[in-house]
Structure 1
Amino acid sequence: MMRPLISLIVFLTLLMAAPGYAQESSQELQVITTLADVIRPAGLFFSFILIIVVWIFLNVIKKIVTELTDVFAERRLLFQKILLFVQFIIYFATFATAILLSFDISKELLAIMGGTLAVAIGFAMKDLAASIVAGITIMFDRPFQVGDRVRFGGEYGDVINIGLRSVKLQTLNDDVVTIPNNVFLSDITASGNYGELDMQIQIEFFVDPHQDLVKAEKIIRENAALSKFIYLNKPIVVNISQVIMENFIAYQLTLKLYVLDTRYEKNLQTDITLRVKEQFELHGIKLPSLQISNERLRVS
């Protein structure tokens, strides 16, 4: 009694939503009729109840895990992994149970579900296949290697893993960023060290245009060589250029040197910056400022 009624409701709904439905192929109509015939109204109701019960159960489990992580902080990651695994199992079991309760499994239904599943897998596999092909290309072309410090898509950090599907990048903030391999084929990647431990970095200093630039350059070079994080087997270079900062002029001194290990990049920058600042103050070398420039303008 209920199945013919459901068939009629499904048919009328689709007919109202699409006036041109009557002109479509009889094969599509047969698929819709088959779906209506295999639906179990009582099973739909019990499936709805099952989903509510599972949702409540998962919320209770999450609260328990949250309390456990507060008590056993050192086991937090383990509890989260277990929770994720349990959730996946429950989701799968609930979905399978709901399907079995709501539909009368038949050859026709299996054929329809199989076709839908094949299309879904095809779309999902398209991106996966592209990433795998890109991963193989990266392994042969080697634009970067594991351990390289690279800059890509706004992210900057060390490559910790190159897989068939993705590359894992650990940023200087200790975040692990996962990037699909196929993205690397269409964008520019900069590798700072390319398989070496040492890497060139730049540190910029600015001084007032009326200061002794020769002395400032000497201070920067000498203090750079004193840092324990510098790689002395490669040259230390200081380039000087004139720049306009807002509405006043300054001199930019760019220090180029090599860090002993990419892990010490920020340590080297901090060490040299503190040393140079202290020596600039000791020798009376002033930094550029709008106040100094305005005072000179008034005097002139």
Structure 2
Amino acid sequence: MGDFGFKETFSSITSDALLEALAVVILASVLIMLVQKLIPALAGKLGGKLRLYLLASVPLLRLLIIVLTIVTVVPILVEPSFENMVAIFGALGLALGFAFKDYANSLIAGIVTLYEMPYRPGDWIEVSGRYGEVRSIGTRAAEIVTLDDTVIVIPHSLLWNTLLANGNDGTDNLMCVAELHLDPNHNVARMQQLFRDVVFTCPLTKTYQPVIVTVSATDDAMRYRLKAYPLEPREQSRFISDLTARAADVCAREGVRMVSKRVTDAA
């Protein structure tokens, strides 16, 4: 038994079995490719929660196809006896444990990610100072696209020891904040009301969600924060820019001077 039963395990493998197993693997690869291409393309034409549900189904479908492929291929190649299964999975465990330690770590974290779902495709997350929308979730890593259209690959193993911020957590509600610093000499209550009007009149505002305008005093300015939800999370940059521009116009009409945030922080 010095060979761990490998000779007996693989003695039943024939050329026909190899061809059949190869055909199953090719078919599974094609299915995975179609899932990764067609579902995101369909989701891109939709909006709201349906888009998020479709994107979230991609990694789950891929994992299901992989599991079904393994379950199908193993009995084709070897006789599914207890001894054979112990030999095969023992060899796989040793290979993953010694040759692919880091990959196995990320792979296990990927399975945990699919189970716990701390983020899903379509979520806007921040990990290690990187912020963007989750484009895809693989078995080893997730891909996010930043607001500057940069693709960043984040290994799932970072989940073990890194804080993760999720802006919308599987929904289409993403709070955005437009921040302004104004000269203290003005009517605060009036500016608060005018800024609320700014948010409600913006065509990108999801008006049935809460709209909050907060104000706090710093050494050199009054800091206003306009908090609201855009119609689509992907519109967050345009939404914040529009709110800031509209608020600046209000300040100009009211004769209230805007103060540089850098000067305020330096004070």
Fold shared by both chains (TM-score > 0.5): yes
- Partners of 1:142 and 1:131 lie apart in 2 by 15
1:146 corresponding residue in structure 2: 121
- Hey, which of these two has a bigger chunk of helix by percent? 1
Q: Does 1:262 align with 2:233?
A: yes
Q: What CA deviation, in whole Å up to 9, does each residue of 1:238-263 have, x standing for no partner?
A: 1111112xxxx211111111111111
Tell me the secondary structure at the aligned position of residue 225 of structure 2: strand
Superposed displacement of residue 123, structure 1 = 4.9
Question: Which of 125, 146, 157 is the equivalent residue of 2:100?
Answer: 125
- Partners of 2:260 and 2:238 lie apart in 1 by 27
Q: What CA deviation, in whole Å up to 9, does each residue of 1:173-200 have, x standing for no partner?
A: 1111111111122111100001111211
Structure 2 spans left out of the alignment, 5+ residues: 1-93, 262-267
Q: Does 1:250 align with 2:221?
A: yes
Q: CA RMSD in A?
A: 2.0
2:140 corresponding residue in structure 1: 165
1:214 corresponding residue in structure 2: 189
1:280 corresponding residue in structure 2: 251
Question: Which of 211, 230, 234 is the equivalent residue of 1:236?
Answer: 211
Residue identity matched to 2:184: P
Higher RCO, Cα 8 Å, sep 6+:
2
Q: How does 1:18-29 map to 2 (within 5 A)?
A: none
Superposed displacement of residue 120, structure 1 = 10
Q: Does 1:199 align with 2:170?
A: no
TM value normalised by structure 1:
0.53
Question: Which of 178, 189, 194 is the equivalent residue of 2:164?
Answer: 189
- Partners of 2:139 and 2:257 lie apart in 1 by 54
Residue identity matched to 1:260: L
Superposed displacement of residue 122, structure 1 = 5.9
Tell me the secondary structure at the aligned position of residue 195 of structure 1: coil
> Once superposed, which parts of structure 1, at least 4 consecutive aligned residues long, lie more than 3 Å away?
119-124
Q: How many aligned residue pairs are there? A: 168
Structure 1 spans left out of the alignment, 5+ residues: 1-118, 291-300
Superposed displacement of residue 124, structure 1 = 4.2
Relative distance call for 1:280 and 1:123 in structure 2 (3 A) is same
